Chain A
């Protein structure tokens, strides 16, 4: 069953087909959530909440668009709300990641790439992740982040140059 068919059926009241959408997008949603929260458990919770919230707001969904970017926008907004509530979205990310130990995600976060990634600010991290990890085009990213396409391009470029300086010692 395709995404469009599943959506049509869910909108017609056949809720059981929402599982199709969950299977299509849950991994991507989890990846994005982890990028913000950097905790497997928290990210799993957030993905569940995002899917429930998406379902509750399905009547507002623009059918001309794909469900994925719309869902990721919800994931992003929920994650930002959580970060704000916890007041964890600050410049001590690197220290936090380095000081944690033991769990699978803590080991992952200690890698060279993550350490460089965490030195970017939140806006730069999310834009690199959406483009280079999830493969969204600039128009979809603009929709997910609710910013103009021009800002997507300039912010992404700035973030990549910063990563190049850290990872490659480059002049980019």
Chain B
């Protein structure tokens, strides 16, 4: 195996991610190849430096705030689920009762259902827009 064929294995070699067979092939080649040994040395140096990439860390207070926010969201979700289930159930029951009542004229029912459908579509479109904005708004942490 020549240097070019071996090259692709060198990062896997320094990371101990090769099979035993491939690792031995690399090892044998390295014993006789100064160029590939130099490449190995450079790859190890790059790995060492990349491991020290400076990343600004949130403060303890910020971490605590993040944790609180996440935990609140978990519990808030159950609240929303209960409220949503209640509203949906009540609305479905009301619509069913109204639709099945024999005393109301058909034209009135169509008008009422059209209004409800229109309001529901408006509400849904606004809701979807807000959700999309919330996902991409980079300033949402800034307090107004």
Contact = CB atoms under 8 A, between A and B. Distances in A.
Contacts of B52: 113
Contact of B17 (A30, A48, A128, A138): A138
Contact of B46 (A23, A34, A81, A172): A172
A163 B71 CA distance: 40
Given A34-B55, A171-B42, A15 B74 contact: yes
B12 A18 contact: no
B74 A128 contact: no
A129 B74 contact: no
Contacts of A108: 54-56
B97 interface: no
Given A19-B71, A47-B66, A51-B70, 13 more contacts: A18-B71, A22-B70, A22-B71, A26-B66, A44-B62, A48-B70, A48-B73, A52-B70, A52-B77, A55-B74, A156-B11, A167-B46, A172-B46
Interface of B: 7-12, 15, 17, 35, 38-39, 42-43, 45-47, 49-58, 62-63, 66-67, 69-71, 73-75, 77, 135-136, 138, 140-141
Contacts, number: 141
A44 B141 contact: yes
Interface of A: 15-16, 18-19, 22-23, 26-27, 30-31, 34-35, 39-42, 44-45, 47-49, 51-52, 55-56, 81-82, 85-86, 104-105, 108, 111, 113-114, 117, 128-129, 131-133, 135, 137-138, 153-154, 156-157, 160-161, 163-164, 167-168, 170-172
